[in-house]
Amino acid sequence: MIFLQAGVSRVRNINQKYIISMVSKNQIKLITALRQKKFRREYNLFFAEGYKVIRELLESEFVLHHLYESESLFNDVSPHQRTFVTDSELQKLSALTSANNCLAVFEIPKPKPTADSGLIVALDDIRDPGNLGTIMRLCDWFGVEQLVCSLSTVDIYNPKVIQATMGSISRIQVTYTDLADYIRKSALPVFGTFLDGENIYQQKLPSEAIIVLGNEANGISREVTDSILNKLTIPRFGKLQQTESLNVATATAILLSEFRR
């Protein structure tokens, strides 16, 4: 395990009343390694960037491991878990083209069991981090507290996913599992999105259900499809009917809006 403890090296400006610390090579090595799933799992850590996301995580059940900032933003964080760095050093840690003024490393919490109740969104092989992050924000907006993902869906602790959630990750319980097996064992009605499904605007939809959305290019896998009895479609209204598909996050927004309506 590589520890995130920085040694004090210099003062940036005495009027700012805080000490700037040099980031060690080991710290840079660890945080850049956390961009990869295997190292996030090995160290049980992930990182977030930006004031809003970090503040949301600090006010949730996530446990802070260490915070880096280029200006005084989080005075409520213990000095032992807080290191001031230069903008150039923060850029070395960042996964963004242009770094924010803060980056925080958090512990990955232990997974919780999924309750078989309420409205649940299930994702089958979603690969794009931006889509997953946006779907989590939509779940947060529509009051969906549980998100179930296939084992091949992109990792929620991917830095791009964390960024796209804008803090909603702190309010959504996410479970990775064998999705087909999970659906077969659930007592909830299961709905999936298909081009040949029933018009969603003409259906009476339950308040408790599992809503399955599939891969951006291939849709819902055959194995998962076999367990879906209720097939829905979002109809096209364009005159030419030439649009092939909706973005999966856009489809999620429409589905959740109709289920909540």
Residue 116 makes CB contacts below 8 A (sequence gap 6+) with: 186, 187, 188
pLDDT value at position 128? Answer: 97
DSSP state of 237: -
Which residues, listed in sequence order, are joined to residue 230 by a DSSP beta bridge?
191
Instruction: Supply the pLDDT for residue 195.
Output: 87
Torsion of the alpha carbons at 144, 150, 153 and 157, rounded to the nearest 10: 60
Radius of gyration of the chain (CA): 21
- Reference 173, options 156, 197, 196; nearest CA is 156
Q: What is the pLDDT along the chain (261 residues), one digit of tens a residue?
A: 444 444 433 334 333 445 456 677 888 899 999 999 999 999 999 999 999 999 999 999 999 999 999 999 999 999 999 999 999 999 999 999 888 899 999 999 998 888 899 999 999 999 999 999 999 999 999 999 999 999 999 999 999 999 999 999 999 999 999 999 999 999 999 999 998 899 999 999 999 999 999 999 999 999 999 999 999 999 988 776 666 778 999 999 999 999 998
Residue 102: the pLDDT is 95
Residue 157, exposed/middle/buried by CB under 10 A (0-12, 13-18, 19+)? buried
pLDDT of residue 210: 98
pLDDT in tens, 194-247: 988 999 999 999 999 999 999 999 999 999 999 999 999 999 887 766 667 789
Contact of 41 with 78, CB cutoff 8 Å = no
Residue type for 10, please?
Answer: R
Distance separating alpha carbons of residues 15 and 11, to the nearest angstrom:
10
- State the pLDDT at residue 12: 40
Distance (Å, rounded) from C-alpha 47 to C-alpha 182?
29
pTM: 0.87
**Amino acid, single-letter form, for residue 251:** A
* Cβ 9 vs Cβ 20: under 8 Å: yes
Q: 129-141 and 248-260 helices cross at what angle (nearest 10)? A: 10
Rounded-to-5 percentages of helix, strand, coil across the chain = 35, 25, 45
pLDDT score, position 147: 97
Helix/strand number for the chain, H first, E second: 9, 12
Q: How far apart are the C-alpha atoms of 19 and 136, rounded to whole Å?
A: 37
Structure tokens that stand for 149 in this block: 């993902």
- Rama region for 109: left / alpha / beta (φ>0; ψ in -120 to 50; rest): beta
